[in-house]
Each structure stands twice: as C-alpha cells, then as structure tokens.
Amino acid sequence: MASIIATSINLQEIPKDKIIEGKKGKYLPITITINDEVDQFGNQGPVVVQQTKEERDAKTAKVYLGNVKVVWTNGDNVAVAPRDGQPTQAAPAPAAAVKEDLPF
C-alpha cells in the first residue's frame, strides 16, 4: 500500500492557537481526507486542521488549509488523480493464474 500524495497548504490560514509546542519543535495536527472521486479541480480531498471531539460535537466549522492529489500509487491503494488533459487511469488488471504443474 504505497502512494505519493502531493499537497500545499495556506500558511496564513493556520490558527495560532492550534499550534502545539513539543519537546522537539512546534506541531500542527492536521487531517487529510482521500475521497473516492476527484473534484472539478482534480483534487482528491482536503487538508484541514484537526478538530477536538468537542469541536466536532459542537459542529464547529473546519479550517481548510489546502487540497491533496494522489500523484503515484502502486495500485493497492487509492487511484492516481488524472492530470490535465489526460484520461483517468484504469485499475490494474488482475494477475494471471500461475500453473503449478512444472516438472521441477
């Protein structure tokens, strides 16, 4: 299950109160969602600031930081997003059955 996912985030949208001070630096907990379908811009999901249970229960609006695209996969995971002007990549064909009647 290997994939390469490309993203960029808008640093100006990061809420300063969500940055966590750790022993080795500052961290921002994020959530990346990979959808089954590609949107009208070729993106496969959003990057959002991770919400607490209380924020989810209160239906607090998510802070969107950017979008993601799957740019490579070994075929065992999610499909690659189509590039501009290129057709959608078909799913890999199943492997042919191997015959086990070899004399050695």
Q: Where are the domains of the chain?
A: 1-104
Residue closest to 55 by CA, chosen among 15, 22, 23, 26: 15
Q: How much is the pTM? A: 0.70
The pLDDT value recorded for residue 91 is: 47
The pLDDT value recorded for residue 98 is: 53
Average pLDDT, stretch 19-43? 94
* pLDDT band (50, 70, 90) for residue 3: confident
Pairing of strands 64-73, 45-49: antiparallel
Under DSSP, is residue 69 helix (H, G, I), strand (E, B) or coil? Answer: strand
Cβ atoms 45, 83 nearer than 8 A: no
pLDDT-wise least confident of 9-13, 24-28, 80-84, 99-103: 99-103
Euclidean distance between CA atoms 95 and 90, whole angstroms? 15
Average pLDDT, stretch 29-42? 93
Under DSSP, is residue 44 helix (H, G, I), strand (E, B) or coil? Answer: coil
